Amino acid sequence: NLLLSTVAAVIGIGVPIGLSMLLLHVGYGYTLLQSFAAGAALSSTSLGTTLALLKPEWRQMRAGAVLLSAALLDDIVGLVIAAIIAQLADTNGGIPWQIIVQPILVSVAFGILVPLLAYLLNRMRVTYHLSRVVPKRYHERSLLFIIVIVLSGFVAGARYAGTSDLFGAYLAGILLNFLTKGYTTEDVILAAEEQKTTHSYPPSVVHEGLPAMTFARYISPAMQSFLSPIFFASIGISLPIRALGVADGSSAVIWRGIVYAILMFLAKAVVGGTIFLWPAPRVTEVEVAVLGHSPPTLTRSQASVFLGLAMVARGEIALIVAQLARPIL
């Protein structure tokens, strides 16, 4: 499904940006830069929402696999666009070519080098040897230390190199996924029993392994109770609700916004049509034997509707790009 996922991701990015530039620039008279920034903000797909709502058995379906891959690619491109938008917002007058080319080249370089680094470190079994040295009761805390160090280094490196620091954080998560192979889930559970801790993990978190368990225990509480409210409060504060009612032609702004919202909904929903481009491969007896059961299936029409509606959801990347593009918009 790699080719189908790539086509779905390209459509999910290109159609919203293209229609946004067509409607806002040609129809409403906004500048090309403003039209591009608005379309770029609405071209990402909420990977977090997709993962939260997609049941494990749905991920085995073709539509589920395409959805996850396309949403992942959309978010990666969205992070690169965020770096470009941030630099465009700081320019006055002309746009130097370095502003567009540098974030793309740096992102590609990071995207190639980080998996290679993860592969080499995994072959060297660095964390396996580390997990044997560190007592089991300290495995979770030692991983928390590694997460903080790796995340800080990648964010600083990405920022200094000229790409999005969010993309650096994203790649840090990929690297940590490989680096924590030496730390087993059983080690953490045994360590918790040794310390007689009462902390419990959701089954989905335990299934994802030690990084998710460490995140759920030490980082998620602070994020949910403190960081997330601040983030969404900043989004709410930036909305020009008061100015909307008193601005000249405010009624036109409202109906234009409604038309734009409907168009952006359709721009993502058309991704569902990619399901009809390639026939679904048949499930082999070997795959059934590996899974232990036949994966759930949908008709092509059902899969198309499922994929199209799921791609409509925008999330944190869209909000971040919109915030970065405020000086332009």
Nearest CA-CA partner of 270 in 78, 19, 12, 22: 12
Rounded CA-CA distance 314/73 in Å is 14
Asked whether the CA dihedral 135, 131, 145, 190 is positive or negative, the reply is negative
- In order of start, what are the domains of the chain with their CATH numbers? 2-324 (1.20.1530)
Is there a contact between 173 and 118 (Cβ–Cβ < 8 Å)?
A: no
Least confident range from 18-32, 110-124, 214-228, 235-249: namely 235-249
DSSP designation for 180 = G
Q: Which residue has the tokens 């790409």?
A: 163
| More reliable by pLDDT, 184 or 71 | 71
Rounded CA-CA distance 23/19 in Å is 6
Is there a contact between 155 and 168 (Cβ–Cβ < 8 Å)?
A: yes
Burial status of residue 181 (CB atoms within 10 A of its CB: 0-12, 13-18, 19 or more): middle
pTM above 0.85, yes or no: no
Residue 20 binned pLDDT confidence (cut-offs 50, 70, 90): very high
Look at residue 24 in the predicted model and tell me its pLDDT.
92
Could you read off the pLDDT of 254-264 as tens digits, one per residue?
Answer: 888 889 999 99
Look at residue 157 in the predicted model and tell me its pLDDT.
92
Q: Is the predicted pLDDT of residue 237 greater than 60, yes or no?
A: yes
Nearest CA-CA partner of 40 in 88, 78, 96, 93: 78
Could you read off the pLDDT of 123-162 as tens digits, one per residue?
Answer: 877 766 666 666 666 667 777 888 889 899 999 998 888 8
